[in-house]
Amino acid sequence: MPLKLPNNLPAIEALKEENIFVMDDDRANSQDIRPLRIAILNLMPIKERTEIDLIRLLSNTPLQLDITFMKVPGHESKNTSSDHMKQFYTSFEHLQDQKFDGMIITGAPLEHLAFEDVTYWTWIQTIFDWARTHVTSTMYICWAAQAALYHFYNIPKYPLPQKMFGVFKHHSLDPKAPIFRGFDDVFYMPQSRHSEVRAEDIYKVGELKIMAESWESGVYMVMAREGREIFVTGHSEYAPDTLDSEYRRDLAKGLSINPPVNYYKDNDPKQEVIVRWRSTANLLFANWLNYYVYQPTPFDINKIH
């Protein structure tokens, strides 16, 4: 089934070129279906790219989704045009009385800052708290996962001596959990971060369960409240060329950066990218939507609490 997206969103045409079925408001409103309402708080600098990455994965289920892009009140994006933000994003202040079946909160390039030093930290905390009572299941990605674990459970983040950068082997600690339906025993996911959360801190909190980890990159997924909160440290949504773009960008800035591991053929940046995570990423989002959003959410969305 298609996703219901705002009219004229640039991602629509980009995804149609990939033969991904999406439709705009006008067509969706003609169908007599109760779509799942999904809010996306997109904190990444280049909004359009993240929109395409997430919509690509969300479209791979038989469920109809009504996507709303949310923004932090008062925060101006430096890398996305104000016209795009005005046309396609709605401030949290105008959405706080609404309820959503699912929510995704993305990462942000803020890992070098203490959480309290983030200019919009107070709003982020407000949105986190709001999601607990207004959303059936929320997926927190990368920086958002670290921030939410800190906010709700006082889990600290630790700076890494060098960037965790590449595509790493992971394994599930609870293979029978619905979120891992169809996963292989070992699966690959991209990581791109300068900080980490540690298993020893998480094990001290009874409400938290580590669902998957990597021998190389550490904690990958944590779950709380029976899946109403899912914290993912990596970037399953990344397109094939995203890590390459990050690597070339950092080189151009003169930064000391190693090539992303397990990413290029023979680990040689002069060779092509080997995509190892596409099928697992599709399973991850499909399982989240089916087992943690669609099945537990009430038909009357106002009954979410």
Q: State how far the Cα of 20 lies from the Cα of 263, in Å rounded to an integer.
A: 25
Contact 148, 105 (CB under 8 A): yes
What are 53's two structure tokens? 């990455």
Kind plus residue range of the DSSP H or E element containing 47: helix 47-58
Contact 242, 44 (CB under 8 A): no
The rounded Cα 164 to chain-centroid distance in angstroms is 17
Q: What phi and psi, each to the nearest 5 degrees, are found at residue 243?
A: -65, -35
Concatenated DSSP letters of 208-231 = EEEEEEETTTEEEEEEEGGGTEEE
Per the annotation, the verdict on 142 as an active-site residue is yes
What are 297's two structure tokens? 């959410």
| 163 DSSP 8-state letter | E
Active-site residue identified among 48, 134, 142, 229: 142
Helix pair 278-287, 47-58: axis angle to 10 deg: 70
The rounded Cα 53 to chain-centroid distance in angstroms is 9
The rounded Cα 57 to chain-centroid distance in angstroms is 10
Contact 239, 281 (CB under 8 A): no
Q: Which residues are catalytic?
A: 142, 235, 237
